[in-house]
Chains A and B, each alone.
Chain A
Amino acid sequence: AQRVTQPEKLLSVFKGAPVELKCNYSYSGSPELFWYVQYSRQRLQLLLRHISRESIKGFTADLNKGETSFHLKKPFAQEEDSAMYYCASNYGGATNKLIFGTGTLLAVQP
């Protein structure tokens, strides 16, 4: 079965420290992976997609097929990065059926 695993429920860092939110996936085909973010009192929204190889708000994520990982990284955390982060895999191809991990709450302390 397809599965996305986020091992950390909570990650607390100080402002300016590096951040790495872990995500591992199991998928038999070619994975499409995403990071979604939910800020306090806001709706869930797409942060970035692995196929775009983009940097959004200073965050990047590299797909490592050997380790089946898609960790989210940022070199210097900001307080406004505090939010719930979900890793997701698209197992439905063009239909966009996403499997989400359980999420990691990132708390950036001043």
Chain B
Amino acid sequence: DTGVSQDPRHKITKRGQNVTFRCDPISEHNRLYWYRQTLGQGPEFLTYFQNEAQLEKSRLLSDRFSAERPKGSFSTLEIQRTEQGDSAMYLCASSLGGGRTGELFFGEGSRLTVL
């Protein structure tokens, strides 16, 4: 499968613990996005990378959240001191700059449950 892959698919953690999610985009895609989806809602934009540069962060991304994309390949999303409100599906997507506008390729998501 050459699509966007995310790891782990499921993570259960206790409140206050740190968690990290990894996303491997489609290899030739230079753009990478993180979204969060809670029950009954659509995906909400968190942050966006073009190559290794993080170009935008949503106000939803508190100081406890940090995302990186070293070398412009895979990306990690770390949540420090998790809270129950962080429980959600974290979706990664990638796209090719200059490709079809609005076409994001999504991974299957990483589901976080904070107890």
Contacts and interface: CB of A to CB of B under 8 A. Distances in A.
Q: How large is the interface on A (under 10, 10 to 19, 20 to 34, 35 or more residues)?
A: 20 to 34
Specify the main secondary structure of chain B where it touches its partner: loop
B108 A96 contact: no
A45 B109 CA distance: 13
Contact of B106 (A34, A44, A92, A99): A44
B3 A46 contact: no
Nearest to A91: B45
Interface string A33-50: 010000000011110010
Given A43-B3, A95-B56, A97-B56, A32 B102 contact: yes
A97 B48 contact: yes
A46 B104 contact: yes
B91 interface: yes
Contacts of B33: 96-97
A82 B18 CA distance: 37
Contacts of B56: 92, 95, 97
A94 B102 CA distance: 8
Specify the main secondary structure of chain A where it touches its partner: mixed
Interface residues of B, number: 27
Contact of B101 (A45, A51, A103): A51
Contacts of B42: 4, 86, 88, 100-103
A85 to B, nearest CB: 10
B103 interface: yes
A71 B56 CA distance: 30
B29 to A, nearest CB: 11
24 contacts: A4-B42, A9-B40, A32-B101, A43-B3, A43-B108, A44-B91, A46-B104, A49-B103, A86-B42, A88-B102, A92-B48, A94-B101, A95-B31, A95-B48, A95-B50, A95-B55, A96-B101, A96-B102, A98-B43, A98-B104, A100-B43, A102-B40, A102-B41, A103-B42
The 8 A-B residue pairs whose C-beta atoms are closest, nearest first, are A100-B42, A44-B106, A34-B102, A90-B102, A43-B106, A100-B43, A46-B103, A43-B108
